């Protein structure tokens, strides 16, 4: 045993079955408690029992260490010896006792599905990859740990914050590919809907030949998503959507009407918008408005930009459209924030000064600076979700931090 610098704890080394250790790491992260405190609580509870628990299989146990209050480990070992139980067996029972007494918290499901509208009038800023990554992060397994940046963005020095291992959100997520180019659909390994058949555009235009929108939805592969991540594919007939919407009653609500039959199946709906300022964009923005009884920031518009001048011009046009809609329709619409994507300080003054300009806006504020990394491009090439292709990569950790920031 080794005394801690604080003098009130000592380091103990033992062994613990690998599966039990993993369960302990996940559960303490889920409940927001320090692992060492959970072990101390489990040992204290085990020592108070009037009889031994059923044995736990400890064959193949791996080295395990933690910091416990001074004297607790020696007292525990003495109790284990008196009960005829090995220290490893007693520790395993203590950990299992804590796990049984502290079940995993239930996933908090919103009464109104959160609606994240990811947009920019300018193409090529990485909007589609950002929308997909956020959706993937929300759908990841609640009972597994994934690397997440400890901070939402790079520090002022440009150094990456440390990583944390945190459980996934475990939410049911629908990704809507609202861009007729269908990049999101193709990146996730699916084909756009046949424009001769049923499509999202036909539902928005109230076409008499439309079917059940549920039949359009497909599942996105990835073990960590556990069937919780779905996609509503794009279709090329969306190129003509603005023309069709011009004759639709209350056209701003067209996307909401189309998606209303499936909203109850999801906790989060993420819309990847086209680089457009037309009527379809109005429908997407209206869909992200704050509904009655919904808390601020649950839904809204996230704007993806790059640290260069043309992004600033496109941003101004988009914000003007959003603000006009806010005023004309008297709706509450929240900005989720600015997402500075594909950032590379090595590009020099243009990149660094542009980043400073985005940060200076303050409202909406910069919620993430996502560096330009190869993993995202490789995932697109292989038509695989980033968080499935490179789950432990730096890019995946950054995307998870963003998802938590705008949750």
Both 368 and 238 in one domain: the answer is: yes
Both 340 and 259 in one domain: the answer is: yes
**In whole numbers, what is the pLDDT of the chain averaged over residues?**
91
Both 277 and 365 in one domain: the answer is: yes
Q: What is the DSSP secondary structure assignment for residue 181, as one 8-state letter?
A: T
Could you tell me the CATH number of the domain that includes residue 355? Answer: 3.40.50.300
Both 92 and 152 in one domain: the answer is: no
Residue 208 has pLDDT above 90, yes or no: no
Nearest to 385 by CA among 252, 200, 221, 236: 221
Last residue of a domain, one of 101, 128, 157: 101
Q: What is the DSSP secondary structure assignment for residue 60, as one 8-state letter?
A: T
Both 40 and 142 in one domain: the answer is: no
Last residue of a domain, one of 101, 124, 149: 101
Residue 161 has a pLDDT of 62
Look at residue 118 and give its three-state secondary structure. strand
Both 84 and 124 in one domain: the answer is: no
Both 160 and 76 in one domain: the answer is: no
Q: Is residue 107 part of a domain?
A: no
Residue 101 has pLDDT above 60, yes or no: yes
Q: Is residue 109 part of a domain?
A: no
Both 89 and 235 in one domain: the answer is: no
Instruction: Work out how many domains the chain is built from and give that number.
Output: 2
Residue 176's Cβ-count burial label (10 Å; 0-12, 13-18, 19+) is buried
CA distances (Å), 124 to each of 305, 335, 342, 387, 389, in order? 9, 21, 10, 21, 22
Q: Is residue 108 part of a domain?
A: no
Per-position b or e across 345-384, b if 16+ CB within 10 A of its CB: eeeeeebeebbeebeeeeebebbbbbbbbebbeebbeeeb
Nearest-angstrom CA–CA distance, 221 and 35: 32
Read off the tokens for 167: 């459980």
Q: Is residue 206 part of a domain?
A: yes
* Residues 264-282 pLDDT 10s: 999 999 999 988 888 999 9
N- to C-terminal Cα distance for the chain?
42
Nearest-angstrom CA–CA distance, 30 and 106: 10
Residue 155 has a pLDDT of 43
Q: How many CB atoms within 10 Å of residue 344? A: 12
Both 290 and 380 in one domain: the answer is: yes
Q: Is residue 266 part of a domain?
A: yes
User: Do the beta carbons of residue 124 and residue 308 sit within 8 Å?
Assistant: no
Both 9 and 150 in one domain: the answer is: no
Residue 54 has pLDDT above 80, yes or no: yes
Both 309 and 274 in one domain: the answer is: yes
Per-position b or e across 68-93, b if 16+ CB within 10 A of its CB: bbeebbeebbebbeeeebeebbbbbb
* Residues 349-382 pLDDT 10s: 888 898 999 999 999 999 999 988 899 999 999 9
Nearest-angstrom CA–CA distance, 132 and 60: 40
Q: Is residue 150 part of a domain?
A: yes
Alpha helices by DSSP H, listed for 109-266, are 127-139, 183-187, 200-204, 241-245, 254-259
* Residues 124-174 pLDDT 10s: 888 999 999 999 999 999 999 999 987 655 444 455 567 899 999 999 999
What are φ and ψ of residue 224, in 5° steps? Answer: -75, -10
Structural domain containing residue 49 = 2-101
Strands 300-305 and 114-119: parallel
Last residue of a domain, one of 101, 131, 150: 101
Residue 2 has pLDDT above 90, yes or no: no
Q: Is residue 106 part of a domain?
A: no
pTM score: 0.90
* Cβ-Cβ contacts under 8 Å for 249 (sequence gap 6 or more): none
Q: Is residue 127 part of a domain?
A: yes
Both 236 and 339 in one domain: the answer is: yes
């Amino acid at each position: 045993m080794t005394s801690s610098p604080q003098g009130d704890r000592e380091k103990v080394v033992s062994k613990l079955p690998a599966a039990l250790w993993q369960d302990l790491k996940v559960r303490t992260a889920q409940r927001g408690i320090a692992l060492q405190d959970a072990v101390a609580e489990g040992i204290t509870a085990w020592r108070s029992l009037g009889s031994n628990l059923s044995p736990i299989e400890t064959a193949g146990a791996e080295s395990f260490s933690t910091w416990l209050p001074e004297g607790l480990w020696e007292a525990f070992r003495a109790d284990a010896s008196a009960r005829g139980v090995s220290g490893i067996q007693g520790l395993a029972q203590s950990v299992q006792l804590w796990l049984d007494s502290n079940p995993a918290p239930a996933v908090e499901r919103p009464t109104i599905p959160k609606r994240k509208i990811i947009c920019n009038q300018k193409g090529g800023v990485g909007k589609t990859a950002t929308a997909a990554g956020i959706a993937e992060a929300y759908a990841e397994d609640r009972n597994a740990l994934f690397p997440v940046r400890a901070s939402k963005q790079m520090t002022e020095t440009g150094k990456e914050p440390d990583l944390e291992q945190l459980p996934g959100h475990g939410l049911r997520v629908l990704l809507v590919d609202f861009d007729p180019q269908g990049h999101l659909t193709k990146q996730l390994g699916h084909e756009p809907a046949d424009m001769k058949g049923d499509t999202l555009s036909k539902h928005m235009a109230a076409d008499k030949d439309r079917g059940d929108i549920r039949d359009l939805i497909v599942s996105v592969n990835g073990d960590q998503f556990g069937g919780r991540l779905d996609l509503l594919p794009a279709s090329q007939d969306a190129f003509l959507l603005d023309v069709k919407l011009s004759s639709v009653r209350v056209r701003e609500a067209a996307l909401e009407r189309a998606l209303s039959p499936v909203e109850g199946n999801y906790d989060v709906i993420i819309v990847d918008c086209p680089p457009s300022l037309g009527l379809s964009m109005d429908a997407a923005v209206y869909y992200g408005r704050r509904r009655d009884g919904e808390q601020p920031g649950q839904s809204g518009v996230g704007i993806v930009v790059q640290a260069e001048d043309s992004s600033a011009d496109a941003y101004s046009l988009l914000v003007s459209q959003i603000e006009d809609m806010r005023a004309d329709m008297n709706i509450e619409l929240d900005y989720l924030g600015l997402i500075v994507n594909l950032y590379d300080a090595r590009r020099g003054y243009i990149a660094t000064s542009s980043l400073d300009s985005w940060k200076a806006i303050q409202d909406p504020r910069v919620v993430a600076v996502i560096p330009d990394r190869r993993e995202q491009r490789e995932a697109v090439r292989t038509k695989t979700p980033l968080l499935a292709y490179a789950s432990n990569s730096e890019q995946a950790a950054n995307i998870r931090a963003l998802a938590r920031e705008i949750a």
